[in-house]
């Protein structure tokens, strides 16, 4: 058609590829001739319909050729430059293109066979890349047409072949309708299973992130869910027990649904202690209700209490006569004078005081607290108080606290690091170290080894909880020395230790820590202690009697470079964060599992040598491996 149209000057619509092939002067005349020569037989029919054949050929080749169009383009540019005569050029043409054309030609032949019954247009429409091979087969077998009887390759029954019949490549035949339905069903199921498996993986990964296991909800959880959904309708929660009430309030806080209406459900005159972990939706009037409904409260914990006003605090001051413990997080509306007033009136009763996240708690407020309550305090927690910016005021702490009374002390994330010095903490510990059970100095980045050596290791015989995140000035040697000395003073052992991002620490410190507290440790964080070596971890978790350890012991005696570490077991350890300790890999994971029988949560974020292939002890949840991603 193309040649004819060129002569007449009239052309019908044609595709870009047809245009291109025509411009490039590509016809299949040459290929046809060669084929004839090769076969040695001349199909007269073929020659008679040739012009039409060319067109179909081109159009069909187009459908297949998309992927290799680039190749074709390249050959075009070559052609443009060199202007090789058409026939020679054809010879050089890519093998690929020839293949495509060949396939297209076979298809055309097959179609021509069918054209006896169907008309050509329909044929065009039903072409489907998925069935591209099927035409070949038909062509070679020269078999059935649509509408004819065929035998099902699966069940062997006779059936009428239709356009919807499915061709099975591996069995080289069609399926009858029933078998096709069954096959479709199976495929659908397989797809569903695949989806389910994906969903399962996702739920598991999600649960892992929440540090929970996927399990059937407890009936209690279901009830609490139901109650919190209907909380507005429940007049009085009645007698469900304080434990459940607390649980409910925690759940409401977690859902951020504790508000003015729900808060009154938890207020009960007999209460002695109240904990609300998210008061952001509770306004100051409702907070006042706490004091009017529950006048006998001894312990009050309000977190996210940004709506707590001066007058609310003074109302507490005048109504809560038994208040001994006050923990506030984020009370940034309370002014200096209000604090002063509060401490002057209620300070003498206070035993526990915790305040976090407010810039209005100033130097004077702390002085006032110390003057009025300092000597009786058994728990003092000061965290992220940007208003406290005088080192001299911090230095007053040791002067006001009385000997051996404080059991919990937290001074964390000060306004700037120079406020908290080694000397300050050593002074405090010298006074009250004996009674201290928990010490938290997170983010006091000015602290050095001296604080450990002259402070903790000398004065803290009863310490069980130690948290010192981000103390980057601590050194491996200093920590190890301090803990070796510490074991002289404190032979009880620590229960929880947080050394997150104390990046100076390494094998020796961890070994000293294990030596001292391995039998008591329950929680441990060595996050980002990148200096820890794999060799150390393997030694520590391998039995001393093994051949490997014996040989190390031997070589340690001969060679100063080699260090021998004894076998350590951590019988009580339940939570361990060893994220970004790159030495932890699959092998170490397995050893950890063997030596920490109680371990249930192990975090390995950033340790990309921990893979899905690791052998993990039963009951241990390993969080943060790359393959767990959702």
Residues that bind other proteins (CB under 8 A): 196, 199-200, 203-204, 214-220, 222-224, 226-227, 230, 233-234, 237-241, 243-244
Least separation in angstroms between CB 615 and other proteins? 20
Closer residue to other proteins, CB minimum distance, 49 or 240: 240
Nearer to other proteins, 201 or 609 (CB): 201
Nearest CB to other proteins, comparing residues 191 and 418? 191
User: To the nearest whole angstrom, how small is the minimum distance from the Cβ of residue 186 to other proteins?
Assistant: 20
Which structure tokens are listed for 441?
Answer: 């100095």
Burial of 425 (0-12, 13-18, 19+ CB in 10 A): buried
- Distance of closest approach, residue 212 Cβ to other proteins, in angstroms: 12
Cβ-based burial of 4 (10 A; exposed 0-12, middle 13-18, buried ≥19): exposed
**SS3 assignment for 185-220:** HHHHHHHHHHHHHHHHHHHHHHHHHCCCCCCCCCHH
Q: How far apart are CA 343 and CA 575, in angstroms?
A: 39
Judged by CB, which is closer to other proteins: 171, or 200? 200
**Cα–Cα distance between 507 and 533 in angstroms, integer?**
7
In contact, 239 and 264? CB cutoff 8 Å = no
CB 175 within 8 A of CB 152: yes
Query: What's the closest the beta carbon of residue 266 comes to other proteins, in angstroms?
Result: 14
Residue 71 or 620 having the CB closest to other proteins: 620
Q: Please choose, from the candidates 414, 446, 578, 444, the residue with its C-alpha nearest in 3D space to the C-alpha of residue 500.
A: 578
State which residue, 120 or 222, has the beta carbon closest to other proteins.
222
Our CB check for other proteins shows the closer of 39 and 270 to be: 270
Q: What tokens does 153 get?
A: 């390759």
For residue 168, give the H/E element and its range.
strand 167-168
| Beta bridge mates, 276 | 302
Q: Is 132 helix (H, G, I), strand (E, B) or coil?
A: helix
CB 618 within 8 A of CB 612: no
Q: How far is the CB of 614 from other proteins (least distance, A)?
A: 20
In the complex, the smallest distance separating the C-beta of residue 222 from other proteins, rounded to whole angstroms, is 6
Shortest Cβ 248–other proteins spacing (Å):
9
455 membership: H or E segment, kind and range: none
Contact partners, residue 249, CB within 8 Å, separation at least 6: 258, 266, 275, 276, 277
Residues whose CB is less than 8 angstroms from the CB of residue 18 and which lie 6 or more positions away in sequence, other chains included: 2, 55, 58, 59, 62
Among 535, 526, 514, smallest CA distance to 591 is for: 535
In this complex, which beta carbon is closest to other proteins, that of residue 66 or of residue 216? 216
Query: What does the buried/exposed string (b/e) look like for 468-480 if buried means 16 or more CB atoms within 10 Å of the residue's CB?
Result: bbbbebbbbebbb
The minimum distance between CB 203 and other proteins, in angstroms, equals 4
* Closer residue to other proteins (CB): 140 or 206: 206
The rounded distance, in Å, linking the Cα atoms of 318 and 392 is 32
Would you say 83 or 243 has its CB closer to other proteins? 243
Question: CB-wise, 161 or 207, nearer to other proteins?
Answer: 207
Residue by residue, DSSP assigns 222-236 as HHHHHHHHTTTT-S-
Coil vs helix vs strand at 485: helix
User: DSSP label at 415?
Assistant: S
Minimum Å gap between C-beta 223 and other proteins is 4
Measured from the CB atom, is 45 or 239 closer to other proteins?
239
CB 4 within 8 A of CB 65: no
**Nearest CB to other proteins, comparing residues 130 and 233:** 233
* Shortest separation between residue 575's beta carbon and other proteins, angstroms: 23
Are 451 and 468 a contacting pair, CB within 8 Å? Answer: no
* Residues 545/570, Cβ–Cβ less than 8 Å: no
- Residue 104 exposure: Cα atoms within 13 Å on the Cβ side: 23
Shortest Å, Cβ 215 to other proteins: 5
Joined together, the tokens standing for residue 408 give 């919990």
Residues near 281 by Cβ (< 8 Å), separated by ≥ 6? 256, 257, 258, 259, 260
Nearest distance, CB of residue 619 and other proteins, angstroms:
16
Q: Minimum distance from CB of 231 to other proteins (Å)? A: 10
């Amino acid at each position: 058609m193309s040649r004819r149209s060129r002569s007449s000057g009239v052309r019908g619509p044609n595709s870009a590829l047809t245009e291109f092939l025509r411009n490039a002067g590509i016809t299949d005349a040459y290929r046809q001739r060669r084929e004839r020569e090769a076969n040695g037989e001349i199909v007269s029919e073929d020659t008679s319909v040739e012009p039409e054949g060319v067109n179909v050929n081109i159009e069909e080749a187009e459908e297949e050729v998309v992927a290799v169009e680039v190749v074709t383009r390249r050959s075009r540019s070559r052609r443009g430059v060199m202007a090789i005569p058409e026939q020679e050029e054809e010879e050089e043409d890519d093998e690929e293109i020839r293949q495509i054309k060949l396939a297209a030609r076979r298809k055309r032949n097959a179609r021509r066979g069918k054209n006896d019954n169907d008309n050509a247009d329909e044929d065009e429409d039903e072409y489907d890349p998925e069935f591209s091979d099927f035409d070949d087969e038909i062509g070679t077998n020269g078999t059935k047409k649509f509408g004819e009887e065929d035998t099902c390759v699966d069940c062997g029954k006779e059936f009428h072949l239709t356009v919807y019949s499915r061709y099975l490549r591996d069995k080289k035949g069609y399926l009858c309708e029933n078998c096709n339905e069954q096959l479709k069903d199976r495929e659908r199921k397989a797809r569903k299973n695949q989806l389910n498996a994906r969903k399962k993986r996702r739920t598991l990964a999600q649960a892992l992130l929440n540090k929970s296991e996927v399990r059937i909800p407890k009936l209690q959880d279901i009830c609490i869910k139901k109650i919190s959904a209907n909380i507005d309708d429940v007049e009085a929660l009645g007698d469900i027990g304080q434990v459940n009430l607390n649980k409910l309030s925690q759940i409401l806080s977690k859902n951020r649904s504790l508000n003015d209406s729900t808060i009154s459900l938890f207020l009960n005159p007999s209460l002695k202690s109240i904990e609300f972990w998210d008061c952001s939706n509770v306004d100051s009037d409702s907070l006042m209700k706490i004091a009017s409904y529950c006048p006998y409260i001894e312990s009050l914990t309000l977190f996210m209490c940004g709506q707590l006003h001066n007058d609310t605090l003074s109302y507490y001051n005048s109504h809560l006569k038994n208040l001994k413990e006050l923990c506030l997080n984020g009370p940034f509306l309370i002014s200096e004078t209000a604090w002063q007033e509060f401490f002057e009136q209620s300070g003498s009763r206070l035993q526990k005081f915790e305040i976090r996240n407010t810039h209005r708690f100033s130097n004077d407020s702390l002085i006032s607290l110390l003057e009025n309550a300092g000597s009786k305090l058994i728990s003092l927690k000061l965290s992220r108080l940007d208003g406290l910016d005088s080192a001299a005021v911090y230095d007053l702490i040791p002067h006001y606290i009385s000997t051996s009374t404080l059991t919990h002390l937290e001074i964390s994330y000060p306004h700037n690091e120079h406020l908290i010095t080694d000397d300050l903490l050593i002074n405090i510990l010298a006074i009250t170290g004996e009674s201290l059970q928990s010490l938290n100095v997170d983010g006091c980045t000015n602290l050095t080894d001296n604080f450990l050596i002259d402070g903790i290791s000398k004065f803290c015989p009863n310490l069980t909880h130690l948290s010192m995140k981000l103390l980057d000035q601590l050194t491996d040697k200093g920590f190890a020395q301090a803990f070796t000395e510490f074991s002289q003073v404190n032979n009880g052992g620590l229960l929880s230790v947080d050394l997150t991002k104390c990046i100076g620490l390494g094998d020796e410190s961890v070994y000293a820590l294990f030596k001292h507290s391995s039998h008591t440790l329950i929680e441990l964080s060595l996050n980002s202690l990148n200096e820890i070596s794999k060799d150390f971890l393997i030694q520590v978790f391998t039995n001393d009697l093994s051949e490997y350890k014996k040989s190390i012991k031997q070589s340690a005696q001969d060679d100063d470079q080699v260090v021998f570490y004894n076998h350590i077991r951590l019988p009580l350890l339940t939570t361990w964060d060893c994220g970004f300790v790159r030495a932890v890999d699959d092998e170490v994971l397995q050893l950890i599992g063997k030596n920490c029988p109680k371990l249930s949560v192990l975090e390995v974020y950033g340790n990309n040598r921990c893979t899905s292939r690791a052998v993990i002890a039963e009951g241990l949840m390993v969080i943060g491996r790359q393959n767990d991603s959702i």
